Amino acid sequence: MAPSPSRLGALALMSASLLNLAAAHSHADKLDEENATTPVDSILWIHIFLQALIWGILFPTGMVLGITRSRWHVPLQSTGIALTLGGYILGHSHKGRAFLASVHGTMADILIFPILAQLILGIYLKLHIHEQTFRPWAVRLHGVVGKSYPVLGWTQMLLGAITFRGYCRGGHLGQCLAHYIMGSGFIAYGTIMAILFLSGELWVRRSGRSPEWWDSWVIMLWGIVNTFTEHRGSNWSVKDMQHTILGVLWWAGGALGIFLARNNQRTVIPAIIIILTGWAMSEHAQALMISTRVHALFGYTLGLAGVTRIIEICFFVPTFVNHAFTAAAVVSDDSNSDHTLADAPLSPRELYASTTNNDTREVQEEKRIAGRVFRHLPPFLLVAAGILFMSATDEELEFVHENEMDHVTYILIMFSISFVLYLAIVSLISLSATSGRNASSASSSQSHVSGYDDTTAGGIELRTPLSASAANKWYARVPSRPRDPPREQQHILGDDDDDEN
């Protein structure tokens, strides 16, 4: 994204503040375990909540506003930078608990590099030189680095929480990595799925690949890594065998999914892999009863995400089909298309039903609304499964058990966090579709498409405005055989079964 006039100063301030923030962690290198148990004072609490607000809300929002070229991008990012500097001062000057050296401090050092990269790229772009050679590449790199901020912020906040509790030290490191990396992976999976469902269909069509093709590649590569990293030593434990065979399941199923999803075809293989993974996790033997219960519900939630994905693929029609003129336009435009996810051409009976039968149109509209509601289930359940898995480490559940909290209360807390996180995800997606340069497009799409209303009940519609001819090239189910029109009308259409698809 190109920098605005005041952004260079904001980037410089951000760089300076994070350089100081990284230095602030160096004072913890010589601390011992006794210092790490000192009570937390109010200044440290303010530091924690302030940094969570900045990295969890303000910076992601500013990133979205930058992508859409909103005039509010610079003010919001400037506010976030100023608050970051204030958070650094609070974190360095508090008199409460101090902490041992950790990856959280190392990550603060790593954050220097993307900030400096953004600063250098911003200055270069502001000079408007090398317009036809290097500048286009600098613009792309500037955007890539900027879009990495939510991932970097999530990682640093997670590491901060781990450092605050003193987790993942000694023999707990392996299971911490497994839970936090895979849990974050499920959350990322759900986030990407929500983006594709709500606003990314245009990109999917341009890629020429179905969503499951991308899913299958990630699953297969992830499975290859897990196959060779889950077992250590010479003795095989039950968990080693389970985790290793899950890796085999993923690369084997992922390879099948890639093959079946070739030529832009839909497939349910990724969803089946999710279901099997959820079932396996729900059967994991645990030392504590609360751990067994939490792992079980995690598995059920993950399995339900797979079931809802199958339902979404097989039974819900495209959400951008309203009336007959849309379907007819799709057919005429798709005559030379290689997108095999499009609906089959309409037969005379189907065309007649879609143009003259009010009942059929009402049923189609009801299905469209139902699809807009239902499509939130798979990504939300993936996000919830990720939160549950991240909350199921041995140290966390031992702490809960020692404080005599039951599994019901703990699980409800995790689902509450999942609701808040999914709210943040869909809010940012909505903001990207309705702010900056997309604001006029969002309003014009409602005035130019007959019968299409983003404010109708059943959910939000956040896709990039599309022409009717491009609306239905993926995300479609196999058409069912329509009911015959009244016999007295059949002479109009012609009664030829060869027209059926």
Domain boundaries, the chain: 1-166, 172-501
Per-residue pLDDT of the chain (501 residues; tens, 9 = 90+): 444 444 444 444 444 444 444 444 444 444 445 555 667 777 878 878 888 888 889 889 988 988 888 888 777 877 877 777 777 777 666 676 777 778 887 887 787 787 777 777 777 877 888 888 899 998 888 788 888 888 988 998 999 889 888 888 877 888 888 889 989 999 999 999 998 888 877 787 788 888 899 889 999 998 998 888 776 767 887 777 888 899 999 999 999 999 999 888 889 999 999 999 999 988 877 778 888 899 999 999 999 999 999 998 888 754 433 333 333 333 333 333 333 344 444 555 555 555 556 666 676 677 777 777 888 999 999 999 999 999 999 899 999 988 889 999 999 999 999 999 999 999 999 998 888 888 876 665 555 444 444 433 333 444 444 443 444 444 444 444 444 544 544 444 444 444 443
Q: What Cα–Cα distance (Å) separates residue 265 from each residue in 250, 259, 261?
A: 20, 9, 5
> CA 215, 221, 223, 226: dihedral to nearest 10 degrees?
-140
To the question of pTM greater than 0.85 for the whole model, the response is no
Question: Which run of H or E residues covers position 65?
Answer: helix 59-67
> What gap in Å lies between CA 205 and CA 213, rounded to an integer?
12
